[in-house]
Structure 1
Amino acid sequence: MSLLPLSIIAMLGGLCAVLANKGIAVFNDGLRPVVPEYLEGKIGKKELAATSFALSFGLVIGFGIPVSIGASIILVHSIFLMTDIIGSWSPVGLRGVIIAFIAGAIYAIGIVLGLQWIIDAFALLPINFLSSLFLVGSPVIVGFVVFPTVAIAMQHGFNKGVIAMMVSVITFFLVKKYGIISINEETTLTINPEGVTLLAGVILMIIFAGKIKGSGNANETLLNLFAHRVSNIRKNWLLLIITGGLVTAATASLLISADPISLQLLSQEKFTEASLVSLARSIGFIPLVFSTAIVTGVYSPSGTTLIFALGILLRGHPIIAFLAGSVVIYLEILLLGHTAKGLDRFPGIREMGEHIRTSINKVLEITLLIGGGMACQAITPGIGYFWMTGLYLLNRTSKRPFVNLAMGPIAAITLGILVNILYVIGIYTPS
């Protein structure tokens, strides 16, 4: 890996840890409301650090890293959740800032290089199951197009969900049949059916939500109540825009991805679809990020996540991506109040965000579970589905279970390790 990508990821990891240490921005949505409690002296540093670790470490080990191994691109949770922990555990003051920056930078470089070392290590195993591991994400590439339909059904009811489903299916088949356009004898333009179907679903989702009008002022009330906390975000604009620029540059360098869906699409070089997914996902996060920012005075290092879609569109141009991402984060901070007030006029759009996030999680949970079963079956035909089913159900009985999203990748990785151990001791022979 060249020096520029390593420098980008090191700076990103270091700055994210610093933002967490100073209570300016954290990635974990659950940690964000806890930070002002610490800043106002209601809880101590030990309580903040313990909370950060409890909320984030399991997701790093059980979700971020396993999903990243399956696609060879870093799921951003693997970095940002750990920098939340590093920043929270680092001491107060200048010494803590220096420690947080150095530790965050080292960790970010380590996770990028370490992922490649893990992939290289697979080649040394008696049974290399890396190619089978890639199957974990294969259902995601097609399955993600259904999430607007699920979001519509959750928000507007079953009937409109059925309408959206039929429109999506018809769109898919029409593009599949007529989406190959001949430009000349040597050149043809192929329109991707998944991307167009997703776009159709998102348009329907916005149309249905936009019809719900309202005269409430929930966000405006929050702004009036927590104006001093919003000012805390604005006064740290420089650090936030630099971090946002680095997030965009790292995405443009294909180092990180915002979510497992776009990660899998990027690994398949389906860049248009990946940018659409990131854009649709960011729509769901605008109300959440802005509302929690107003209430807590703590932002997210990736803002509303719009910069991930921007980074994909500017792939291969990290310097331009850095500048563009910095501008976007600056505009987000500048328009924080105006956007929040605007959402009051369209409560359907505001509520749509929650349904988008829930539907994406549900789609991911199912598709990664199916993909995990496919990968397990490819690793060990005949016992793969047994292992996947058993591990998933056993996890649900655990006192400290992994999140369901992680079980597909975890099942495939653990089965691959198990068959290698059994092969070495002579119990298992691949057919």
Structure 2
Amino acid sequence: MGSAARAGLDLALPQQLTVIALCALTAFVSHLALAVFNDGVRPFMLDFVQGRSTRAATAAVSFGLSAGFVFGLGAPMALASGVLNPWLLFLPTDVLGLLAPRKWLAPLLGAGWGALVVFGLGGANELAHDLPVDFLTAMQQMSTPILFLFTLFPVLAVVRQFGPLRGAVVGVVELALVVLTLKLWPNMFAGALAMAVGVLMLIGFAVTADVRRRKAERAERAERAERAERSDSDPVEADADDPMASLFSASAARLRRHLPLFMLLGAGICVLAQLKVFGGGEATSFLIAKGQYAEAAQVDFYRMFGFLPLIATTALASGAYGIVGFTLAYPIGYLLPNPLLAAVAGAAVFAVEVLALSSIGRVLGRLPSVRDSSEHLRAAIGEALGLAILFGSLLAANQMGGGLAILICGGLYLLNEATGRPVVRMAAAPAAVLVGGVVLNLLYWLDLFAPVKG
């Protein structure tokens, strides 16, 4: 198919049915408290599973943590890129599934949301493009800042964890690779190779630190044992039992009992990615829109390293997995040639992930530097995208209304900051562009504003 941005949100019937069915399934899984998409909601799920919190209270938490992302980030990104995203599809099904009082109602509510997205958003997209001030076309200005600034997230993570010197080295390497890619492979996303090398360097630094720490700990234990032997005291016992081995066993067992349902969920996620109407992240959405599927797969594969430890540990602690698993189903789906293969691969990936959760928890328990790298990667992704989205939103405002639009959109963003961020920071700027676009159209109809030419 062509560029999704050009085609808008006009989905073919199989794509529409897939979205509706997957929204129904994710709402059902959320209702059973087996998985949610919002990482911030997952820690609250244990109290709900164990009966210490009501369904209504848990749904209220989910809504409070999700609403800003749905309407401030998910919807604007879908309208700007012409590609669906997980914030738009799965944050609402988290809420609807938890809110539904009966099992049979949850998938109906989820399917209703899916239908609203595939039919309502497409209509809104066509209507917006027909307005005198076409703010959706202007929002495509966000793509360049998002794609290129996102490339820097490994550099920020290295600086935070290993200091500015190593961060500078990674930064120079990434810049050189971007320049080289632009020169030698102009049709390739310039940040793909740079991000790959940056993430690999970060992981290399972290693994090296953990190996050195383990060697130091073994040497220290050996020295203590030798001292104890010389003093004829009781020998120092080694850590025979790894506390991580049994800490999360009940949650892991609960998830394994529902393995067929997770395999069905994995199949659906991977098929949706294969249909090329869905992107797993902000940068990925614009790459999918440009038809750069291999680059989109690379971006989501690297991003996975920032979220895998978080998803694994919160799943083991709460008994609720991630709706999209470790997100590995995204890049696999982008690259596969047909939905049937995607369904088989997605089911297999989720089966492996769920069965390996306990082992992953034990490994992460022995690699604290790698765990820390994941946290730094997530923080760096947020910082890079926050700046990129803000900058891109101001570019969009400038295109649709010049200085007046910058005043309106920037003012709304600053007002959100001054009032304690009722809309989360990352979603505030795109939401301001949408509101600013509506205001400019009202001013046009009142004959108080003329759209910027060109």
TM value normalised by structure 2: 0.87
Check conservation: 2:278, 2:288, Cα contact below 8 A: no
Among 161, 165, 169, the alignment partner of 1:159 is 165
Gaps (5+ residues) in structure 2? 1-10, 218-238
Aligned partner letter, 1:28: N
Q: Tell me how many residue pairs correspond in the alignment.
A: 416
Matching residue of 2:194: 197
Task: Give the Cα–Cα distance (whole angstroms) in 1 for the partners of residues 301 and 377 of structure 2.
Answer: 12
Among 396, 402, 408, the alignment partner of 1:387 is 408
Task: Give the Cα–Cα distance (whole angstroms) in 1 for the partners of residues 360 and 31 of structure 2.
Answer: 28
Task: Give the Cα–Cα distance (whole angstroms) in 2 for the partners of residues 21 and 318 of structure 1.
Answer: 27
Aligned partner letter, 2:181: V
CA gap of 1:344–1:34, structure 2 versus 1, over 3 A, is closer
Task: Give the Cα–Cα distance (whole angstroms) in 1 for the partners of residues 182 and 15 of structure 2.
Answer: 37
Check conservation: 1:212, 1:346, Cα contact below 8 A: no
User: Are 2:46 and 1:36 aligned?
Assistant: yes
Q: Residue 39 of structure 1: CA displacement?
A: 2.0
Among 345, 354, 362, the alignment partner of 1:333 is 354
Q: Residue 11 of structure 1: CA displacement?
A: 1.6
Task: Give the Cα–Cα distance (whole angstroms) in 1 for the partners of residues 252 and 353 of structure 2.
Answer: 12
Task: Give the Cα–Cα distance (whole angstroms) in 2 for the partners of residues 65 and 5 of structure 1.
Answer: 18
Q: Aligned Cα RMSD in Å?
A: 1.9
Task: Give the Cα–Cα distance (whole angstroms) in 1 for the partners of residues 247 and 203 of structure 2.
Answer: 30
Check conservation: 2:188, 2:295, Cα contact below 8 A: no
Matching residue of 1:301: 323
Task: Give the Cα–Cα distance (whole angstroms) in 2 for the partners of residues 163 and 2 of structure 1.
Answer: 47
Q: Residue 398 of structure 1: CA displacement?
A: 1.8
CA gap of 1:382–1:56, structure 2 versus 1, over 3 A, is closer
User: Are 2:265 and 1:243 aligned?
Assistant: yes
What percentage of aligned pairs have identical amino acids?
28
User: Are 2:90 and 1:69 aligned?
Assistant: no
Matching residue of 1:118: 124
Task: Give the Cα–Cα distance (whole angstroms) in 2 for the partners of residues 337 and 40 of structure 1.
Answer: 20
Check conservation: 2:248, 2:358, Cα contact below 8 A: no
Task: Give the Cα–Cα distance (whole angstroms) in 2 for the partners of residues 203 and 43 of structure 1.
Answer: 42
User: Are 2:343 and 1:343 aligned?
Assistant: no
Aligned partner letter, 2:36: V
Gaps (5+ residues) in structure 1? 181-189
Of structures 1 and 2, the larger Rg is shown by 2
Among 160, 180, 190, the alignment partner of 1:174 is 180
Task: Give the Cα–Cα distance (whole angstroms) in 1 for the partners of residues 115 and 202 of structure 2.
Answer: 39
Matching residue of 1:424: 445
Q: Residue 88 of structure 1: CA displacement?
A: 0.9
Matching residue of 1:185: none
Q: Deviations over 1:109-138 (max 9, x none)?
A: 221222211111023323323321211222
Mapping 1:192-231, distance limit 5 Å = 192-213=189-210, 214-215=213-214, 221-231=243-253
Matching residue of 2:145: 139
User: Are 2:31 and 1:18 aligned?
Assistant: no
Check conservation: 2:71, 2:431, Cα contact below 8 A: no
Partner of 2:59: helix, strand, or coil? helix
Q: Residue 367 of structure 1: CA displacement?
A: 0.5
Aligned partner letter, 1:278: D
Q: Deviations over 1:365-396 (max 9, x none)?
A: 00011100000000112223323332221111
Q: Residue 150 of structure 1: CA displacement?
A: 0.8
Partner of 2:423: helix, strand, or coil? coil
CA gap of 1:28–1:179, structure 2 versus 1, over 3 A, is closer
Q: Residue 240 of structure 1: CA displacement?
A: 0.9
Matching residue of 2:104: 98
Task: Give the Cα–Cα distance (whole angstroms) in 1 for the partners of residues 286 and 435 of structure 2.
Answer: 20
User: Are 2:111 and 1:89 aligned?
Assistant: no
Matching residue of 2:14: 4
Partner of 2:39: helix, strand, or coil? coil
